[in-house]
Amino acid sequence: MPTLGILNGGGPAPGLNGVINAATLAARARGWKVIGIPKGYSNLIKGNTAACHELTEAAVAGIETQGGSILFTSRANPTKKPEDMAKVVASLKALGVTHLVSIGGDDTATAAMKAAAAMGGVIRVAHVPKTIDNDLPLPNEAPTFGFETAKQLGALLCKNLRVDAKTTGRWYLVTAMGRSAGHLTLSMAVGSGSDLAVIAEEFPPGPIKLDAIVAIVERAIEKRAKAGHDWGLAVLAEGILDRLDPAELKSKVGTLEPDEHGNPRMSEVDLGRVVRDLLTPRLKAKGLDAGFITKIIGYELRCADPCAFDVQYTRTLGAGAVEFLADGKGDALIALVDGKILPLRFDDLKDPGTGKVRIRRVNIDGALWKQSLALQAR
């Protein structure tokens, strides 16, 4: 009997349970056994197969509209050590897994690529991409699942904060999650009617100076002040931190702890506070006395109940992943493009320079960014 394993990797995103629900139902309908693998690759690396359990129709009933994941998640990275990858393969074989659906973002996709190669065709893998950052290179600008829910909730939170800004006469500096791309920042700002969005992509290649960020916010405050508004809301992309001049980053922010995949933990840094501290004396020198509140918005979005779009999207992807594997195929990323399930080869998504999955960034020549500039206090 074929046995399907399902696991999540990386940070949460709305819709994880939708993939698990649909993949389980689709596999069980084919007579397959389904094994839920909790906490990503963590238990597999430890050889803790006892933590894994069978998923039935009853076990996944109704979970598709719920946030979070019944299988939890972790950032355990099996690609760091050959022995860890070997343990993953051995654990999957011990569980009798013949097919694997992995759910995750760019790092989990990279791990899935290497796991598929290490398995040597013994176990076939289908990877379902997720990230609220929307930074995986899906064709035709198809969104990653969870992004639509995150931007809807993020825009609502910014809208509420902007009303508070108007009522109390102050500025909010919001840092939006998005390690490598500014999609969420842009959507939250435009979707809430906010006054400014600053993303890393708008700057030329190379290190970004903090002064450049501060100057953009400063001019927005001046422009609104001249129009009689002593309040506003600016959304700053977390990914700017990754592009800051290394010397400035260390002096203003300090050394950032890396996660299991070697990425700096930027979500713990309040970029708005750094900008505020540099901006306040500059404004006072010009006779402008702006009050500031800084906020980081990110973790609030990741385990929200998925919107109808993401429920439908994730269930389609989950069922599509099983159909792909049942056809005797494997080792691909499952996308929904133009209303059809489209398997993408892992190798076609690689960045030849890094060997990792390419990052999809905001297209600053595209309409979304260009037209947003006309709506901002620039």
Residue 368: Cβ-neighbour burial (10 angstroms; 0-12, 13-18, 19+): middle
Q: How far is CA 56 from CA 16, 42, 70, 124, 136, in A?
A: 17, 23, 13, 21, 31
Q: How far is CA 220 from CA 198, 217, 229, 233, 280, in A?
A: 11, 5, 11, 10, 14
Is 133 labeled as catalytic in the residue annotation? yes
DSSP conformation letters of 98-130: SEEEEEESHHHHHHHHHHHHHHTTSSEEEEEEB
For residues 307 and 253, give the distance between their C-alpha atoms in angstroms, rounded to a whole number. Answer: 35
For residues 327 and 216, give the distance between their C-alpha atoms in angstroms, rounded to a whole number. Answer: 53
Q: How far is CA 368 from CA 45, 179, 188, 362, 374, in A?
A: 42, 20, 12, 9, 11
For residues 373 and 216, give the distance between their C-alpha atoms in angstroms, rounded to a whole number. Answer: 12
Three-class SS state of 366? coil
Choose the catalytic residue: 106, 107, 133, 331: 133
For residues 53 and 27, give the distance between their C-alpha atoms in angstroms, rounded to a whole number. Answer: 15
Number of H helices, E strands in the chain: 15, 11
Q: Which residues are catalytic?
A: 133
